[in-house]
Structures are given as structure tokens and as C-alpha cells.
Structure 1
Amino acid sequence: MKLFNAFLILSLVTLTTTAQEFKDLDKSPMDAVITRNQDNSPLARIIYSRPKKNNREIFGQLVPYNKVWRTGANEATEITFYEDVLFNGVEIEPGTYSLYTIPDKDKWTIIVNEQINVWGAYSYDESLDLLRTSVPTRNTAAPVEDFSITFKPAADGSDLLMGWDDTFIEVPIRKAE
């Protein structure tokens, strides 16, 4: 009986140790950024996945020009506005939306779409676009290895920054009056 109990304990320890291994972690981890108003109330939040450059040519190759892109990896990037905002000058009501882009060499078209909880851009439906707006591309000071999104505080709002490889864009988000 002691031998059986010892075997049982050894088996449980082995199974527990094996079960705690994390295999095949996501190669493009999920991240989130939030920007707040001066009174510390939330203005906007973005949830997205961060693919790596990994010595690949990004724009024009991995991410083709003039095609709808999920703006990251895995699920389509999600943006939530907590109050009425002007997104590059266009008014948007509070809510959660998908954020797609169409990269081009000199400009990106930014798309705010009403369909959420979608994988990639495979089921993208243009008829659900809330808005499309364009911003010029800019060159980064140094290559950006991981696709990145952040907010830069600005008067009455924030500027949304998205960048990868040697390219970034900036989209103003302001509180609507």
C-alpha cells in the first residue's frame, strides 16, 4: 500500500509540474493603452496585438499597401471612446468599434467600423464603416521592432500614435464640444 501511495504522489507531482508549463505563447501578445482627460476620466482605450518585425520588410510586403489591415495581429484592433470625440475632426459617439487601417506609402486611411469581436480583417464589412479618414505617414527616428500604439497628451484630448518598422502615423482625438 505504501508503494502504491508513493507512486500516486509521484504521478500527481509529475502531472502538476507538466501542466504548469506554458507552451506556444502568443507570438504577438495582446496589449492595451488608455488615455485620460485632465480630470482623470477616461477618453479612449485601445486593445490590440503586437506583431514583431523579425527582420521582415513590413509595409508593402508583410502588410500590403492599399489593402484593409487589422492594425496589428490576431483579432481586429478595438477602440473604445468613453465620450463624444472628434477623431481627426470627425465626431464619434461613445462606444466600442474596430479600428482598421489601409496603409499606403505616403498616407494611411484610418477606418472606425461598427463590427466588433472579429478575427483579423477577413470578415471586414465596409458597409459598417462609421468613418474613414486619412493621415500622412512619418518616418520614425529608429526602427520599431514591435507594432506599437500609444497616446500623446494634447490640449483637450490626445494624439493617437501607431508605428512599426520605420513608419508611424498620428491621429488627433479631441473632446467634442
Structure 2
Amino acid sequence: MIRNIFTGLVVLICLTVSSAAFAQEFSGLDKSPADIAYFRTERNAPPLIKVIYSRPQLKGREVGVDLAAYGEVWRTGANEATEIRFFKDMVLGETTIPAGTYSLFSIPGKEEWTIIINKDTDTWGAYSYNAEQDVARFAVPASSGDESLDAFSITFEAVENGAHMHMGWGQTRVAVPFSVAQ
């Protein structure tokens, strides 16, 4: 009987200590929440491209000046470098990019943006960006939209044999043309 009481006390103490050790404090919502953009040819079709990115917000700041500085490599979002996955070989400009997962960097400019597909993945920001790991670089024109977007946004538009990946922030708009490799 004493042994059963002792065993019960040991179990109770262990449960109390272990539940206190696993107690967590969860942080609030991220200031730049993560999002995912998919490109599919149809709603139920398998994806061709998937982009995982964080959505920084302007909050009164300006693209190219306060955020995503013109002429500097940018992670194309916030927090971790934006990740882009190609489920099939894709073409950007003249470069065929093998199916796989990459980082998506960019160099914003007033008139054009340089889009960079890079082999380094799971990196924070663009602090360790290494141009030797680039798979493709392609310049695209920058334009202006009528509506100002406070949160950086990515979406896809189907085009013949591929997609345009549209990026928008503030009034800046950029379209990146991808096509399926033949």
C-alpha cells in the first residue's frame, strides 16, 4: 500500500513537472504574415509553381526608398528569403530552370526589376545572398498600378504555355513571365 502511494506521488510529481516544462508562450501574429501563391492550369490540376513568401506592409513607407531599396538585392518579401518551387522544368527568359526548389531574390528599380532564381534555400533575408548560386537572372519592366497595395502581394495569371507571376506593392507592379520547358 505504501509502495502504491509512493508510486502515485512520483507519477503526480512527474506529470506536474513535465506539464510545466512544456508550457509555451505563443507570440502574436507576425507583422509580415506568411502566404503561399500557387499556379495551376485549372483548379484541380497539379501545381506548376508554388511561391512561399512573407507579406511586408508599407505602413506609410515607400517602395524603393524605405523598403526594397532600389539597386539592392532583396529577398522578395520579408523574413526568410522567398521560396519558389517549380514542379516541372520552367523557362525564364532564355534560361531553363530544372524542376526543384529555389530562393527568389530581386533587385528592384524604378524602371525595371532584376528577378533572380538562386540555389541557396532556407536563408534569412538576403544577408547571405551569393550570386555564384544563381540559376537565372532576368530583367522585367516595372509599371505602376492605379490601386495602392499596402501588403506585398504575389499572384499568377495563366498565359499560353505558362504563367505571369505578378508582384505588387504600393503602386509598383512587376510581371515575371515563366513558360513550361518543351
Query: Which of 28, 33, 38 is residue 37 of structure 2 equivalent to?
Result: 33
Query: In 1, are the aligned partners of 2:81 and 2:126 still within 8 Å (CA)?
Result: yes
Distance 2:90 2:139 in 1: 17
Deviations 1:125-176 (A, max 9, x none): 1110111110000101110110001101111111100110110100111111
1:162 alignment counterpart: 167
Deviates more, 1:54-63 or 1:138-147: 54-63
CA RMSD of aligned residues (A): 2.0
1:136 aligned partner: 141
**How many percent identity over aligned positions?**
46
Match of 1:147 among 132, 138, 152: 152
The CA deviation string for residues 5-54 of structure 1, in whole angstroms up to 9 with x for no partner, is xxxxxxx9xxxxxx798533210000001111358122100000001110
**CA separation of 1:125 and 1:21: change in aligned 2, threshold 3 A:** closer
1:92 corresponds in structure 2 to 97
**C-alpha contact (below 8 Å) 2:92/2:136 kept by paired residues:** no
Comparing 123-132 with 55-64, which one deviates more in the overlay? 55-64
CA distance in 1, matches of 2:24, 2:127: 34
Count of equivalent residues: 162
Matched AA of 2:179? R
CA distance in 1, matches of 2:47, 2:62: 36
Does the 8 Å CA contact 1:159/1:171 hold for their aligned counterparts? yes
Q: Please, what TM-score do these two structures have when normalized by structure 2?
A: 0.83
What aligned pairs does 1:105-124 form with structure 2 within 5 A after superposition? 105-124=110-129
The higher radius of gyration belongs to: 2
**C-alpha distance in structure 2 between counterparts of 1:148 and 1:57, whole Å:** 15
| Cα pair 1:76 1:117 within 8 Å, conserved | yes
- TM-score computed with the length of structure 1 as normaliser: 0.85
